[in-house]
């Protein structure tokens, strides 16, 4: 089921074949005003997209994944025809992002979340879906999550390491890192920082409107009534909608992980991220 590219295993659905898609991503024609929302899945991708889009368009409104553009999922040749400033998503790890971005063109917002909540969110998301073809246990899914066979060829640990190294070894790339936990604790301040990074010319009143438009309740309600929903997910989700907005809290891992599972994650951090300091917030 895995597709190999540059020695790594990708576990994803693309329009064409994985090799062609990833080559297209690497050579993607990046514009200087492009904004890339690069996230490890389940870290708050949709939340941040709903913050970024009003900041670059100047208008408040809900955006669903239906009308978004994702590097690894979509036919990028169509992206050339978009005239407006583009917000482009990606779950790819640093080595696979467009060469143009590494060269300093465009801006990246890198979204991360503590690995325990990220794992729980992913597991809940995945096990709620139909026909995923996965019949394993939560333990099995955790082993998968800890391995570099995971999804886009990177465990959470590899993902954060590669992005951290990418940022520190490459002075040209323009990256602003956003933590899910900081959004939870201080949404308005984080929106102000994102706005400053993007160079958005918006006033405080607008920033406050963005803040209230992206509350968990508002996004969840908008998602559940979104008329833009197609039947794209009908085989995967009972009501045809991706179960994106679940609990939206920090620390749900305490309700879901066993002590042994939580310790496996702690050990992975100690072993694989030795020498790195991240201010991980678990509650």
Which stretches of 154-195 are assigned E, i.e. beta strand? Answer: 175-179
Nearest approach, Cβ of 214 to ligand A3P (angstroms)?
5
- Options 22, 25, 53, 214; binder of ligand A3P; rule CB under 6 A: 214
Among 9, 14, 21, 45, binds ligand A3P (CB under 6 A): 45
Cross-strand pairs, 194: none
Q: In sequence order, which residues have a C-beta less than 8 Å from that of residue 19 and are 6 or more positions away? A: 3, 5
Position among 28, 44, 106, 253 found at the interface with ligand A3P (CB under 6 A): 44
Choosing from 21, 43, 64, 229, the residue that interacts with ligand A3P (CB under 6 A) is 43
* Helices 45-57 and 204-213, axial angle in degrees (round to 10): 150
Handedness of CA 196, 201, 204, 207 (dihedral sign): negative
Residues 6+ apart with CB under 8 A from 58: 202, 206
Give the number of residues in contact with ligand A3P, rule: CB under 6 A: 21
Under the criterion CB under 6 A, does residue 167 sit at the interface with ligand A3P? Answer: no
Residue 135 tokens read as: 């019949």
Backbone angles phi, psi at 175, to 5 degrees: -125, 135
The first and second tokens of residue 151, run together, are 């999804």
Task: Give the residue, chosen from 95, 248, 251, 282, that forms a contact with ligand A3P under the rule CB under 6 A.
Answer: 248
**24 vs 250, which CB is nearer to ligand A3P?**
250
CA 181 vs. chain centroid, Å, equals: 14
The residue among 169 and 255 lying less far from ligand A3P, judged by its C-beta, is 255
Among 10, 24, 42, 229, binds ligand A3P (CB under 6 A): 42
User: Could you say whether residue 281 binds ligand A3P (CB under 6 A)?
Assistant: no
Summarize as ranges the residues that interact with ligand A3P (CB under 6 A).
Answer: 39, 41-47, 117, 121, 124, 214-216, 219, 244-248, 252
């Amino acid at each position: 089921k895995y597709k190999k590219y540059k020695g790594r295993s990708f576990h994803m659905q693309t329009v064409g074949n994985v090799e062609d898609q990833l080559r297209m991503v690497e050579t993607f024609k990046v514009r200087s005003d492009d904004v890339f929302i690069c996230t490890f899945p389940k870290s708050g991708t949709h939340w941040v997209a709903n913050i970024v889009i009003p900041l670059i368009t100047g208008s408040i409104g809900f955006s669903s994944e239906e009308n978004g553009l994702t590097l690894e999922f979509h036919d990028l040749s169509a992206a050339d025809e978009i005239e407006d400033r583009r917000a482009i998503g990606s779950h790819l790890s640093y080595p696979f992002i467009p060469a143009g971005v590494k060269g300093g063109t465009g801006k990246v917002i890198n979204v991360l979340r503590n690995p325990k909540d990220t794992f729980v969110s992913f597991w809940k998301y995945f096990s709620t879906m139909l026909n995923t073809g996965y019949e394993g246990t939560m333990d099995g899914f955790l082993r998968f999550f800890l391995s570099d066979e995971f999804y886009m060829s990177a465990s959470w640990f590899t993902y954060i390491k590669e992005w951290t190294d990418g940022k520190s070894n490459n002075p040209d790339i323009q990256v602003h890192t956003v933590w899910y936990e900081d959004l939870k604790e201080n949404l308005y301040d984080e929106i102000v920082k994102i706005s400053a990074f993007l160079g958005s010319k918006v006033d405080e009143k607008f920033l406050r409107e963005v803040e209230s438009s992206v509350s968990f309740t508002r996004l969840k309600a908008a998602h559940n009534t979104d008329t833009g929903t197609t039947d794209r997910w009908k085989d995967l989700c009972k009501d045809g909608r991706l179960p994106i907005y679940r609990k939206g809290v920090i620390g749900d891992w305490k309700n879901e992980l066993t002590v042994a599972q939580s310790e496996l994650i702690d050990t992975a951090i100690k072993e694989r991220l030795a020498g790195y300091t991240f201010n991980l917030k678990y509650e």
